[in-house]
Structure 1
């Protein structure tokens, strides 16, 4: 047996339990060991139940006396009552919708129960008590709480973990000098203590070690990738084209100081004999696209080809139109390659690329296909880079010979974290908006007041403006009670927009239909566009003055800020209305952040605090990140130290350190191969 074995290698894990564990994301023994508690309870052990305060959770040693049976209440719940004694008092255990619970007890046997204590009119009850069977749980210690599904009992889960931990020896995988310097627990002790801590001091020490482990491994990964990119990677030295000034003079607007600064940084990179690997981050509407086009223009004028990779067909088409309008007058041949292009055109475009007849190609993931070849590729730009994983970025390198790579994002990285998050990239920031950009007034309300919101929308439409309505799901999901695009469109047409042209757009819609709808919306032939987050990135319609976001609590802050950026692009006053379930204090706090700030950097930082990097930058979906415990904002002090020690390890030639580096590179996981069974 090893940690990569399937979870059903554990004794007692049959097909049914395996399915439930899989739903929790546990597929292997390693997954089980890394399935850390979401919280802990400091539950007191009470000898005399009368000494405990009502409303508190307690642990009590008791004897089972009698089963009082089950009955159905007026609201349909099945209530089961069993009688126990702690040696001093008689009390009832009460369970809801668990008619089988009496089978768990034998009269006169002793049991340890944990539940919420209630005292009403002299009657003592313990609500939904859990039977603690695990002899490894010492009474009075912290009780781990796991996020479990479908009646998987916490006591069973803890027993299963204890059984595995009793069979394994977890070898150390941090350098000795790091453990000594920070007085860390061993990896073995940290894993055991996080699952079964004696007290909060022990728990905090275990978390400190494991958070460092995660961030140290993450830093190593980024540093190794950067080293791989730069090692011997002599790039092309591009001269500064004399036509650059002519291009800038023909722009229909003046560049901001921030844009000019970033362009200078890119051109300096292009002049160097090393391959460029730079990230440009800028808030919504800060003007990243023109920077990319200028950078690509210079590469093309040096006799090379350039690629602009976008995450959606809509955005690709928009970039293509902008590039054609600006660059075609300079004898630059530009083409668009997306999944919806006809096969005949794809073949022609691929042949022309290979022969060097196309200077600039703009498209989606279709450009990453192996059969897309270039005669002389010099530069690749990826827009909204968090949609493309590190491995996809690496794939782009193979399309040319040490090409320059520029990646852009409108999801700003918190100012303190750029170096650590994208250590494989140099970072440029566009920290000002072009003059004339409208501040978008933001408001939030609950569903009860949505009538007023849509009433305001009608007034905007009567001024010949256009609006977006966004909802999270395409198909009805009764569990989440969210509005789908289909049902929302029918409802809004009937109740509010019967006199206006309403269309819908969603991710799975055929590309040709999406393109047709966006073209009509751009031309003002559609008044109301009901959409999923397909409009989140880059879509530019200056006449759109209002966006309404349904179920706004389901979106992250950065995503809401991106969506808000679809309006305020013209001369008209613009508005964003967030319709959300604001009963929760946390939801209200998040909505307040959006209402009170238009600063994408600040919003991104708050989003990091709430959700972590995984959801914002797509790491977890792409398998790019292993951060289970860490939060890159709250634990930035640990990240700083971990990054510093990772740099020392990279330079170290000690035998043990070389071993660690090799294994980290092969297995970028928290524990990797270092968990060994006796």
Structure 2
């Protein structure tokens, strides 16, 4: 056996269990060795039955004496009582409810180990264990089962299908016992400096820690073995990212000139004096674009902070140097909004903009594609349609990707490949905490717009319950009578757009006929035909539609400065970042704007989330809270987010180890002790990147 041995050939697995394990992404012996226990139990307290004391957790080795199933008058609880005894003839009763199947397990004379809490039954005057963990001890087992499942600190694994933690424990032990000395890819000089154990020692300590290991450290994932394995997982990820950065810096890029003419053209499109943050960020982008290596930059900015004007300025630099720019957006609504904004901003310069979206006719697409391929159009704005193989550019120099977390890393790459090493600017209005941003976008430099344009007022946020809806409707009516407009957004239940559409349609009927019969109410959702969506949005922008009932299709890209009220129905069903995005649809003009969060039933966590939104409008603070409350995967909301899959490391729990691994990896790549060591690291990353992290290695 070696680390690459398929899981189905490991003794004790077989085809059925292999299918269970493969469903968890565990296909080789190496995968199972990195399938870390999620907790540990100290079962080293083995006691004879005669020395048990009520209230203690203990392990006992005993024999089944007898079994019976008590009958209850009122209902059948399926109770099984088993009398156990040891060599001293002392007895203990084990009790299990709803466990009739145990009649065929606990046969008289069978040896077992039990682990559980000892109780005293005063009515019967006997010691008992309620629902103890049990292991059947068979004489023909190859290993000492009592030494594996009890009498030590025992690893507890998350079951894989019908493959239980006990089975996993046995299989992992067999792998560790049968593997020869494992090659350790982690550079020895790093292990020595950080006092990390070697791989073989670490794997044994991860799965079967010695009995003197501190249980608190184990369950906090801070034993030396766990730290080594977490560090290694992060280290190879960060090494891969650093190698990507290093490779990108060696590629020949476009050296854009920043002469006086370019500066004059940029000044023409500025509708107001830029904020200090916008000037700083544009300076960072301009410096990147003027170098000989391709720009790879992430632009983070809260909703309404002015990312679009910065992107427009970057596009001007590209176009004035004789190149084209492309802007890729995840939805047609957002792409159309970018088109409107850029056409308005760039109007003084007379640039030709070609939209390219899935809903366009074949003829419209053909015209746009020809305009881009011939260089007639200087700027392309579109959705995934931009990535199609037959879309060609005459001279693509700048690729702008908005809301990058909605796209996969390969989609970013496919747009880049439409040109010859174009500069790349990735934008997001979803504030991402630093740890997560550096993990997902580690190959990018980061710029942050951290102040709002002048004249913008902070949005006031309120929490109301369903019982207070009448007050909310009265407030909307007052705002509309004062000449303003309002959004009312309905949540998707379990990510089902269909459910959200039904809720929005039902609400639209009631609001337009019963609640606001005197107002013009519009309905917008993702299942409307494009022409109807456009008509509704145009009506809202012109002020003809006064109240817009919608699903989350308006989460990004809708810009109506006259809208001052955002009501989020069933706000408890949304993530914090999503509500913050929705809230950013108002507050885009000079008037005071409001966000009202309407909830039904709230858990303690739900109350914490709503309180965070009411008290703060700082997107980065909200994102940190959202990350803590929901975890990285759910926080990002899509499987295409580019978030690596970690088996042992945890981005929230292990931030300090991640920072250490990042620093070590960068130093290692930029100042390697030898080229041989760096080459070995490059080979390791290439061989393991996809399997270890579920990520594509670019380049």
- TM-score category (smaller protein): 0.7 to 0.9
Extract unaligned runs of 5+ from structure 2: 137-144, 694-699
- Whether contact under 8 Å (1:439, 1:598) holds in the other structure is yes
The TM-score normalised by the length of structure 1 is 0.86
Does residue 148 of structure 1 match 2:163? no
Asked if 1:460 corresponds to 2:479, the answer is: no
Query: Which of the residues 110, 131, 136 maps onto 2:134?
Result: 131
Deviation at 1:149, TM superposition (A): 5.7
Change (3 A) 1:551 1:110: farther
CA distance in 2, matches of 1:270, 1:671: 34
* Residue 179 of structure 2 is aligned to residue 168 of structure 1: yes
Q: Which residue of 1 is the match for residue 556 of structure 2? A: 537
Distance 2:13 2:19 in 1: 10
1:649 deviates by 2.7
SS at match of 1:132: strand
Structure 1 residues 230 and 457: alpha-carbon distance in aligned structure 2, compared to 1, 3 A threshold: farther
Cα distance, 1:382 vs. partner?
0.8
Paired residue secondary structure (2:132):
strand
Which whole-Å deviations, capped at 9, do the CAs of 1:106-126 have from their partners, x for residues lacking one? 113221122344445345442
| Residue of structure 1 equivalent to 2:66 | 66
Deviation for aligned residue 1:357: 0.9
Distance 1:96 1:77 in 2: 6
Aligned to 1:242, the other structure's residue is in SS state helix
Q: Name the structure 1 match of 2:142.
A: none
2:595 — aligned with what? 575
Q: CA RMSD in A?
A: 3.4
What is the SS of the residue equivalent to 2:427?
strand
Which of residues 193, 196, 200 is equivalent to 1:181? 193
> Partner of 2:139 in structure 1?
none
Whether the 8 Å contact between 1:50 and 1:89 is mirrored in structure 2 is: no
Distance in 2 of aligned mates of 1:103 and 1:493: 60
Instruction: Provide the rounded CA distance (Å) in 2 between the counterparts of 1:432 and 1:82.
Output: 69
What is the rounded CA distance, in whole Å, between the counterparts of 1:188 and 1:292 in structure 2?
51
Q: 1:242 to 1:503 in 2, by over 3 A?
A: same
Deviations 1:6-53 (A, max 9, x none): 544444545654554455444554443332222223354443487444
Q: Is the 8 A contact 1:536 1:566 kept in 2?
A: yes
Q: Is the 8 A contact 1:21 1:27 kept in 2?
A: yes
The residue number in structure 2 matching 1:489 is 504
Contact 2:505 2:523 in 1 (8 A): no
Displacement of 1:353: 0.9
Q: Distance in 1 between matches of 2:159 and 2:477?
A: 48
Structure 2 CA distance for aligned equivalents of residues 386 and 159 of structure 1: 40
User: Aligned equivalents of 2:550 and 2:72: distance in 1?
Assistant: 46
1:146–1:593 CA distance, 2 compared to 1 (3 A): farther
298-307 or 461-470: bigger deviation: 461-470
The alpha-carbon distance between structure 1 residues 90 and 638, as it changes in their structure 2 partners (threshold 3 A), is same
Structure 2 partner of 1:675: none
Q: Which residue of 1 aligns with 2:112?
A: 111
Correspondence 1:281 to 2:300: yes
Does the 8 A contact of 2:565 with 2:594 survive in 1? yes
Does the Cα contact within 8 Å between 2:571 and 2:597 map onto a contact in 1?
no
> How far did 1:490 drift?
5.8
d(CA) in 1 for partners of 2:257, 2:84: 83
Q: Is the 8 A contact 1:471 1:483 kept in 2?
A: no
User: Structure 2-normalised TM-score?
Assistant: 0.84
Q: What CA deviation, in whole Å up to 9, does each residue of 1:57-114 have, x standing for no partner?
A: 5433232222223768968854333333465764443334332122111113221122
Contact 2:52 2:118 in 1 (8 A): no
Aligned equivalent of 2:100: 99
Evaluate the alpha carbon distance shift between residue 359 and residue 140 of structure 1 in structure 2; reply closer, same or farther with a 3 A threshold. Answer: same
Q: In 2 relative to 1, CA 455–484 (structure 1 residues): closer, same or farther, beyond 3 Å? A: farther
Matches of 2:93 and 2:524, distance apart in 1: 57
**1:616-667 CA distances to partner (integer Å, 9 max, x unpaired)?**
4579645651433334455343233322322333232353442122221342
Q: 1:267 aligns with which of 269, 272, 286?
A: 286
Who is 2:689 aligned against?
668
CA distance in 2, matches of 1:205, 1:122: 48
Distance 1:32 1:592, change over 3 A: farther
Residues 561 and 5 from structure 1, CA distance in 2 versus in 1: closer, same or farther, beyond 3 angstroms? farther
Distance in 2 between the 1:173 and 1:615 partners? 32
CA distance in 2, matches of 1:281, 1:228: 24
Name whichever of 205-214 and 590-599 sits farther off.
Answer: 590-599
Distance 1:216 1:660 in 2: 11
2:243 paired with 1:224: yes
